Amino acid sequence: MDLFVVAFTLALAGVSAAIFALLPARRVASADVVNALKDSSPGSTTGVGNRRLRAALVVGELALSIVLLTSALQLTGRALSLNAMDHGVDVDRVMTAQMALNAPHYADATRLTQFADAVLARLTAADEIVSASLVNYPPLSAIGTSFPIAVEGRADVPGREPRALCWIVAPRYFETVGIPLLAGRDFAPVDTRDRLGVAVVTRRLAQRFWGRPDVLGERLTVLFPQSDAFWIPRAIRRPLTIVGVVGEVREDGIGEPGAADPQMYVPYSQSPTRILTIVARVHGQPAAAAPLVREAVRAVDPDQPTFDERTLDDVRNDTFARSREIAWLIGAFAALALALSAIGVYGVVAYLTAARRREIGIRMALGATRRDVVGMVLGDTLKLTTMGLAIGCIATPIASRLASASVVGLSAWNPLAFAAVAAALAGVCVAAAAIPAYRAARGGLELSTTICHGSTS
C-alpha cells in the first residue's frame, strides 16, 4: 500500500467536499432576497443563473467523462494486447532447467563445452525428446546480457559503441524454442572454438547497422569484457561472421521492438558460460521431461544439480504476470469510472428534469400533451449532450496524445473507443431524461388539474 497515494486521495476527497459545499453556501449567503423570491415564485421553478450553472455542470461532466473513459478504454486495450501479442517464441511443450557450473574443474572453456555436448547428446537420444539445446538465459525471462559491439566498416568512438543483447546458444536452439530462421543457417557442431567465429543476428540488428536484411557474410565483434564472472562468456575477442538471420524475440513485452537493444546469438562452443539453461521440446507434457533432464545431467556429472525447472509457458506467464495484473486493474477502474460517470450524469439530468415539474404542469394546463413534454425534455437534454460530446471530442485527442507519450504503443487517437464511450454516455443521458420526464409528465397532469381548479375557483 502506497501511503502517499492514500493520503493524497483522502486530501483530494476532503478538498472536493469542501469546495462543493462552500461554493453553494457562499452563493446562498450572498443571494439577493428580492431576486431569490422572484426565482422561487410559482411561475418559475428555478432561476436563470441556476439553470445555466446546472446545464454547464452536465456539459462539463459529460466532457470529462468522455476523456476519462476513452483513455481508460485505450489503456485497457493496450494492456490486454501485451498479453496476447506474438513474442516470437513457441512456448508449447518446451521444458527448461537451469544450471550453474561453479565447480573448479569448469573454469576451463573446454570442460564447459564438453559437459554441454555430453548432456545434449543424451537428451537428443531420448525418444521423448523432439529436440534439445541450451542457452545462457531462457527466452521470455526478462533476463539478458547486453554487450558493446564493433561493426566492421563502422567508425564508433571507443567507449561509445552500440550495444546488443547477446545470447549464447547451442545448435538447434532456434528449432527448439520456435524462433524462425529467416536466412542462412543455424549453428552446427563444426562451429568449434578453433574454427571461424560465427554469429546469428536478428533482422532488426541487420536493418539497424547495415540497412538491409541480407547481411550474410558481414562481420562484427562482440566486445566481451575479460572477467571471471559466471555470466561473462569465456570468449575470444575476434570478428564474427554472420551466418544466419532470425526473427525478433519480444523479451520484455512492454516496449516496441525498436525500443530495446537489438539481439544476436553466438555459439556456446565458441563462447561458453558457467550459467546455462537446457531447453527441450517434447512429444507429450513438458513437465514429464524434467526427470529426463536431471538424469542426463547426473549421468555426465553426478554432483551437478539443476534448478528452476519450469516449462517455457510458465516462464512466460511469470514474466508477464505484472502486465496481466495491470490489465485487470485498469479494466476494473475503467468499469468503475463508467459506473460513476453514468450515475453522476443520470443523477444531474434526472434532477434537472424533476425540478421542472411545476413548469411541466403549467405547460400541460395550457394544452401540452405528454408526448410534447417528453419530447421537450429530451430535446433540451440532447442539446446539452451534444455540447458535452463536442467538447469531449476536442479534449480527448489532447489527453490521448499526452498519455501516448508515456505509454509505449498507445495510439494518440482511437475513434472506435471514443464512439463507444460517446454512445454509452448518450444512452445514459437519454434514459436519465426520459424516465423522469415521463414521471413528471404524469405528475404534471395532476398538477395541471390542480392549477386549473385553482384558477376556476
Q: pLDDT per position in the chain (457 positions), as tens?
A: 789 999 999 999 999 899 888 877 776 776 666 665 555 444 444 556 667 777 888 888 888 888 888 877 777 777 667 666 677 888 899 999 999 998 888 988 999 999 999 999 999 999 899 999 999 998 888 788 889 999 988 887 787 889 999 999 999 999 999 999 999 999 999 999 999 999 999 999 999 999 898 999 999 999 998 887 888 888 888 999 999 999 988 765 444 444 578 899 999 999 999 999 999 999 888 888 899 999 999 999 999 999 999 999 888 888 777 777 776 777 787 778 778 777 877 787 777 777 777 777 777 777 777 778 778 878 888 888 889 888 988 888 887 777 666 665 566 667 888 888 888 888 888 887 777 777 766 765 555 555 555 554 4
Copy the grid coordinates of residue 403. 498519455
Neighbouring CB atoms inside 10 A of 355's CB total: 16
Q: Tell me the pTM.
A: 0.68
How does pLDDT run across 141-185, given as a tens digit for each residue?
878 888 999 998 888 778 788 999 999 999 999 999 999 999 999
C-alpha 302: how far from chain center = 45
> How many Cα atoms within 13 Å fall on the side-chain side of residue 278?
35
Q: How far apart are the first and last CA of the chain?
A: 69
How does pLDDT run across 249-286, given as a tens digit for each residue?
876 544 444 457 889 999 999 999 999 999 999 988 88
The residues spanned by each domain of the chain are 46-86+323-456, 102-303
- Give residue 410's pLDDT: 61
Interacting residues of 258 by C-beta distance below 8 A, sequence separation 6+: 204
